Amino acid sequence: MSKTRRLGARSPGVMLLTSACLTAALIMPGATVVYAQSAPKPLAPVVDVAPPTPSAPSSSLVAKPLAPSMDAAPPSAPSSTLAPNSLAAPVDVAPPNAPSSSLAAKPLALPVDVAPPAAPSSNLSSAPQTVIPQASLDLSAFPMPEVRQSVNGVLSTTLNAIISTNQMLDQNAQPPETVEFNPPTFEGTIPGPTLEVNPGDQLSILIVNDLPLNPVNERGGFFPHDENTLNLHTHGLTVSPLRNADNIYREMPPQTANLIQIDIPQDHPSGTFWYHTHKHGSVTYQFLGGMAGFLIVKGGARTLDTVPEVAPAKDIPMAFQVVRSTNDGKVVFVHQEAQQFGTFPFPDFSVAGKPFIPPADDQGLWSTYGLDGFVPPLGPDGKTPGKPSRFSYTTNGVANPILHMQPGEVQRWRLLNATDGDNLQMVLQGHGLNVVAMDAITVPKTYRLNPGDPLVIGPGQRMDVMVKAGAPGTYLLQTLDPNSGAVQASVSPYRDSQFPNGIDPRQRVSRHSFDFPSPCPTLGGSPSDCQPGQFSYPLTLATIEVSGAAQDMNLPADPLPTPQGLPSIATMLSRQPDAVRNVAFEICGAAPGTPQDPNFHPPLNLPSCGWYFERYDAAFWGGAPFRDLEMMRDADDVGVPSGANGMPRVNFKKRGIIRPDPAFIPRHDRRSLRRMDGVKSLVYRPSVPPPPKSCADHQNKRHHITAARMARHLGCSCRPVSESRQMRGTTTDWSECSRT
Higher-confidence residue of 10 and 629: namely: 629
Tell me, what's the pLDDT at 736? 42
Contact assessment for residue 544 and residue 470, using Cβ atoms and an 8 Å cutoff: no
Is 3 a member of any domain?
no
Among the residue ranges 200-204, 441-445, 455-459, 734-738, the one predicted with the least confidence is: 734-738
- Choose between 544 and 301: higher pLDDT: 544
8-state DSSP, 233? E
Q: Of the candidates 541, 567, 593, which is a domain's last residue?
A: 567
Confidence of residue 62 (pLDDT cuts 50, 70, 90): very low
What is the chain's Cα-based Rg? 26
**CATH code for the domain of 556:** 2.60.40.420
pTM above 0.85, yes or no: no
350 within a domain of the structure (yes/no): no
Least confident of 153-157, 221-225, 362-366, 696-700: 696-700
The pLDDT assigned to 656 comes to 55
Q: What average pLDDT does the segment 189-211 reach?
A: 97
What would the pLDDT profile of 399-428 be if each residue is shown by its tens digit? 999 999 999 999 999 999 999 999 999 999
CA dist 251 and 215 (Å) reads: 16
Q: Is residue 49 assigned to a domain? A: no
Last residue of a domain, one of 550, 567, 584: 567
Residue where a domain terminates, one of 540, 567, 594: 567
pLDDT at 551: 96
Structural domain total, the chain: 2
Residues 552 and 701 in one domain: no
Q: Which of 164-168, 575-579, 613-617 has the highest mean pLDDT?
A: 164-168
Taking only the tens place, the pLDDT of each residue in 475-484 is 999 999 999 9
Give 129's pLDDT tier (boundaries 50, 70, 90).
low
Residue 76: how many other CB atoms lie within 10 Å: 9
Answer whether residue 183 is part of any domain: no
Write the CB contacts of 196 (distance below 8 Å, at least 6 apart in sequence): 43, 147, 148, 149, 150, 155, 296, 297, 298
- Say which DSSP state 88 is in: P
Q: What is the pLDDT of residue 250?
A: 94
Task: Of 262-266, 321-325, 458-462, 690-694, give the lowest mean pLDDT range.
Answer: 690-694
- The answer to whether residue 525 is domain-embedded is yes
- pLDDT tens digit string along 497-518? 899 989 999 999 988 889 999 9
Contacts by 304-309, CB closer than 8 A, 24 or more apart: 304/270, 304/271, 304/436, 304/437, 304/442, 304/464, 304/560, 304/561, 304/563, 305/41, 305/44, 305/270, 306/561, 307/556, 307/560, 307/561, 308/556, 309/410, 309/466, 309/553, 309/554, 309/555, 309/556, 309/557
* pLDDT for the residue 167: 95
pLDDT band at 569 (very low <50, low <70, confident <90, very high): confident
Q: Quote the pLDDT of residue 23.
A: 34
Domain extent at residue 453: 394-567
Q: Are residues 560 and 705 part of one domain?
A: no
* 539, part of any domain: yes
Say whether the peptide bond before residue 191 is cis (omega within 30 degrees of 0). Answer: yes
Round to whole Å and give the CA distance between 172 and 326.
11
Question: Residues 6 or more apart from 98 whose CB is under 8 A from it?
Answer: none
pLDDT tier, 655 (very low <50, low <70, confident <90, very high otherwise): low
Q: What is the pLDDT of residue 474?
A: 98
Task: Give the H/E segment covering residue 574.
Answer: helix 569-574
Shared-domain flag, residues 414 and 555: yes
Average pLDDT, the chain: 75
Residue 38 included in any domain:
no
pLDDT class for 648, splitting at 50, 70, 90? confident
Query: Is 379 a domain residue?
Result: no
CA dist 631 and 412 (Å) reads 39
- Can you give the pLDDT at residue 533? 87
CA distances from 150 to 155, 264, 656, 687 (A): 4, 12, 41, 21
Span 52-68, mean pLDDT? 36
pLDDT at 119: 35
Q: Give the tens place of pLDDT for each residue, 709-728.
A: 333 334 444 444 333 333 23
